[in-house]
Structure 1
């Protein structure tokens, strides 16, 4: 597997930990696979820690200090690297997302966070937490909008999304919110910033009916897949699992409408929402 790139230790606590971990591992004369064996994890997991695509948990920090003889360096610093404005179950995935070169996502229920408008994000978060204060909702929306800045770069990351038709048809936040949200997605497509396909109801049963998934590829680290459910989430790096989910995504794209027909559907539904006199 490719070696990790040189990281700027001043860029973030996680970059510092990654650079220091690589330095300590190489000083100890261990490969990523050898160090992984001592921690009961894969060599690719060590590579992801070094590349900054995985968060260093306290239990691993303790073991690294013991195995590499680094006193309590990793234990003292993993707390700073773990701070995040995102919910605990999603924080690691959001941080990995920011480093990904390619993201492929199937969304069965809602517009993915990277494609959301503030109003749509507010409606979704209010539905998630109907009793939360306005300040809390504002904080969550700000965090989600911060994630969308990934798309400010004209080419990176590659983002390819398959939306279930239910995403387009489910009126979230009202007609005006849906009009804006769908037109925003269409605008990103027309700028050639994202690839979006709609999986129509007419496609019938399909391989991803059990839930959403997000595949992430990186320049210098193994790929990851993220599974998400109500207030839960899990990152997986098992090569067999990642390969199986990549195959699933390919099947979805084969069953979905073409990008051109998907864009036409999205814009047509947005137009329907814009006319309040339509049912």
Structure 2
């Protein structure tokens, strides 16, 4: 009898496994199926691994290709995410990534936000809101931090423009607490922290928020985000260009020790009113 402990399959993994079984039964390779539904073979691989879900139109094409009579499109409705559509796949992928490299231009990355900081962010761009709506949004966002509780994976690199440290979000106490939290995670070895100082001038990521994710058994992806929109890229050339831009920006950043000192200093300046 096999007593080996196995990680329970998620609903998305079950979806992916069923897709793989139906594809093989139809006598199709990942490449052949990707040609039929007009996507990359890498994307089919992500679907079958449970890392990503097809969009409704893609699920409809999968059903036509495999002759499954709407099966995958209907099942998709039961797997809806609590996150916005443009971010739902990213939220799933970061739970499975081996390495996450994130860059933030003006805002603390959602993965690292404290409850009070996140609440201030949500409050700022909602013209009308209720306490209940803010509470729900904060719970969803801060729930992503569970991946920080493990001692090993994912390995997280965090590159911050100095503007992230200087903008006072939620008030001096909220901002100070947020920056100290980031510093504590770095000092505990849970993330690698670097800051791009104002003195660096123009840098390779000056125009965009960027997250890079690598996996143990699948191709890497890159994600860029703007207001109410995001773009998840898996095309090798685009991912490679994003990785190069990150490396270039990182080369202009302060060392981890210098970055920690700057983050701690900024936290104290917020708290004691010495921000410029």
- Which of the numbers 114, 119, 129 marks the counterpart of 1:132? 129
Looking at structure 1, the residues matched to 246 and 212 of structure 2 have their Cα atoms a distance apart, in angstroms, of: 9
How many angstroms does 1:20 deviate by?
A: 0.5
Residue 101 in structure 1 maps to residue 98 in structure 2? yes
Partner in structure 2 of residue 230 of structure 1: 227
Partner in structure 1 of residue 3 of structure 2: none
Partner in structure 1 of residue 205 of structure 2: 208
Mapping for residues 71-82 of structure 1, pairs under 5 Å:
71-81=69-79
TM-score (norm 2): 0.94
Mapping for residues 1-279 of structure 1, pairs under 5 Å:
11-81=9-79, 83-276=80-273
- Structure 1: state its 5+ residue gaps: 1-6
Given that residues 53 and 221 in structure 1 are in contact (C-alpha distance below 8 angstroms), is that contact kept between their aligned partners in structure 2?
Answer: no
How many angstroms does 1:109 deviate by?
A: 0.7
Looking at structure 1, the residues matched to 226 and 192 of structure 2 have their Cα atoms a distance apart, in angstroms, of: 24
Q: Which moved more, 1:128-137 or 1:197-206?
A: 128-137
Looking at structure 2, the residues matched to 277 and 68 of structure 1 have their Cα atoms a distance apart, in angstroms, of: 64
Looking at structure 1, the residues matched to 71 and 231 of structure 2 have their Cα atoms a distance apart, in angstroms, of: 27
Deviations along 1:123-182, one digit per CA (max 9) or x if unpaired, are 111112142111111111000110011101111111101100000011111100011000
Quick one: structure 1 residues 25 and 250, their matched pair in 2 at CA, closer, same or farther if it must change by over 3 Å? same
The list of structure 1 runs, each at least 4 consecutive aligned residues, that deviate by more than 3 angstroms after superposition, is 276-279
TM-score (norm 1): 0.93
How many angstroms does 1:276 deviate by?
A: 4.1
TM-align CA RMSD: 1.6
Aligned pairs, how many?
271
- Structure 2: state its 5+ residue gaps: 1-5
